[in-house]
Structures are given as C-alpha cells and as structure tokens.
C-alpha cells in the first residue's frame, strides 16, 4: 500500500497539471461513478484542486463535486500526454479523466466515490486522524488519539488512520526503529515522551520523502541505494546501529510484516 507521503507527491503533480483545466472526458468501470456522471456530468467541469488526505486522493471539480479514491494495495494514478503509451494495460484502468493536454488514469484503484463538497465530511475522509503531511497537522491531537489506543500494540496503532493518517507498513517499522520502541509494546506502556517522539519522527520521515523527487523510499538518507532503509525487509541482516540480526514477525489480524532490532528496540 502506498504511504501517505507518496500519495501527497502524486497529488501535487496532478494538481500542478490539472488545476484550472476543463474535463473533456470521464470514464469509469464503476457503476457508482458512472451513475453520478450521467446525472451530474463531469465533462465540462473544471478541476479546481487535487489534494491528499491521509491515503485518500481528492479531486475537486467546479460545481462542488469531489472524487475521492483510495489506492489500497495495488492502485496507482498515472499521468500521460495524449500520444504517450500507457505503462499498464487498459483492462486495468478503473477511472479515466482527460483534459485537452493530459490523460489521467487510475489503474487498479479499488475504492472510489463521488461526493458533494459539503457532504464530503460524511465520506471515509471524515474519520481520519491528523494528516502527517498537512500544514495544519495537530501533533497534540495525534498524540491524544494514539494514547486512546492503549491496549493496542504500537505497531498496529501507528497504522490506524483514525489516530494519525499517512503511515504505511514500511514506515511503521522505520519509525519505531528510529524511536527505539518495540513494535509489540502496548501503547499504554509508552511514556509521554516516547509517544511524542514517535509522532514527531513520523512527521519528519514522511515529510522528508514527500519532498524527495526519487520514487524509492529512504529513511537513512544514505546515497547508497542498498542502504535506503534501517530495518524493513532486512530480516536476518545486521542492525545498522548495533549489529544484531534484524528480527521479522507478522503482526495484527492482517499479519503485516514487521521488522525490528531486538537489541535497540527492547
């Protein structure tokens, strides 16, 4: 699943090329989208803004119409010039939007709905916690929401977008390593300082990559492409701090892969 920072980066690119442009074509394989398009035609509307909220992409059109989508594990948005070949087959296209200059394709996007601008607060976006990449990010509120998940393992709590939006599975392991917190510790066991440090670390790591033009994730800031991450997918390899073999376990009801250092993260 794409991390929140990758989605924010995509939103910025789409916003830059689509904002102020008129829609010349809209097509989708989803009946819930085509029904709205039939009643309140998207073609002819102007794209007012493309933004991200947690892991939701929001396309706002003139007239108060909002297209909300979530990429889940395999979805992605591609941007093409009209004559440019697509990097995926058309059979995988779920949403197609065109302007005079560009074609935007949502490949394998499994979750998408239209909302009116005012009722959008009743969409899944409304349940999100503070967005780590928002200029108005409220660290105290994120801290409060995480603390409320006291019985949860902290590795699971960081992934709950209702507490803090934007963290994916890769960054979960990386944030906890930087914070020297064991992923299986309960939130209730953490001190206020530890919890605050995790919130601050999450914001720093995601914001750093959101500004990075490279597509690959990196938390170590190393120029070596083989040393981009501290622990994720490094099971059995030596910890970059202490040399202990990185441990691997699955966590939560979805059995998410979790990597950590048994020594640094006791």
Residues annotated as catalytic are 2-3, 55, 256
Distance separating alpha carbons of residues 238 and 245, to the nearest angstrom = 4
Please give the distance of CA 81 from its chain centroid, rounded to a whole number.
25
DSSP character for 242? T
User: Quick one: CA torsion of 46, 52, 55, 57, rounded to 10 degrees?
Assistant: 10
Using DSSP's 3-state secondary structure scheme, residue 165 falls into strand
CB 63 within 8 A of CB 52: no
Sign of CA dihedral 189, 138, 159, 235: negative
Distance separating alpha carbons of residues 38 and 43, to the nearest angstrom = 10
Using DSSP's 3-state secondary structure scheme, residue 200 falls into helix
**Burial environment of residue 246 by CB neighbours within 10 A (0 to 12, 13 to 18, 19 or more):** buried
Distance separating alpha carbons of residues 263 and 30, to the nearest angstrom = 49
Size (the chain), residues: 266
DSSP character for 131? B
């Amino acid at each position: 699943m794409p991390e929140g920072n990758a989605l924010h980066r995509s939103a910025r690119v789409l916003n830059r090329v689509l904002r102020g442009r008129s829609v010349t074509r809209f097509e989708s394989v989803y009946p819930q989208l085509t029904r709205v398009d039939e009643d309140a035609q998207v073609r002819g509307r102007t794209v007012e803004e493309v933004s991200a909220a947690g892991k939701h992409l929001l396309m706002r059109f003139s007239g108060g119409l909002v297209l909300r989508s979530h990429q889940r594990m395999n979805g992605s948005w591609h941007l093409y010039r009209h004559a440019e070949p697509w990097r995926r087959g058309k059979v995988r296209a779920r949403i197609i939007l065109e302007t005079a200059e560009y074609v935007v394709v949502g490949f394998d996007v499994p979750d998408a709905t239209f909302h009116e601008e005012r009722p959008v607060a009743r969409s899944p976006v409304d349940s999100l916690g503070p967005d780590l990449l928002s200029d108005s990010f409220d660290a105290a509120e994120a801290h409060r929401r995480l603390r409320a998940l006291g019985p949860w393992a902290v590795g699971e709590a960081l992934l709950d977008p209702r507490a803090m939006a934007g963290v994916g599975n890769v960054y979960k392991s990386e944030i906890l390593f930087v914070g020297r917190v064991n992923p299986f510790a309960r939130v209730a066991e953490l001190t206020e300082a530890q919890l605050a440090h995790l919130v601050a670390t999450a914001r720093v790591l995601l914001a750093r990559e959101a500004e990075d033009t490279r597509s690959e994730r990196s938390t170590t800031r190393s120029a070596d492409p083989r040393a981009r991450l501290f622990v994720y997918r490094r099971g059995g390899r030596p910890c970059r701090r202490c040399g202990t073999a990185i441990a691997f376990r699955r966590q939560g009801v979805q059995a998410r892969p979790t990597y950590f250092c048994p020594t640094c993260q006791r």
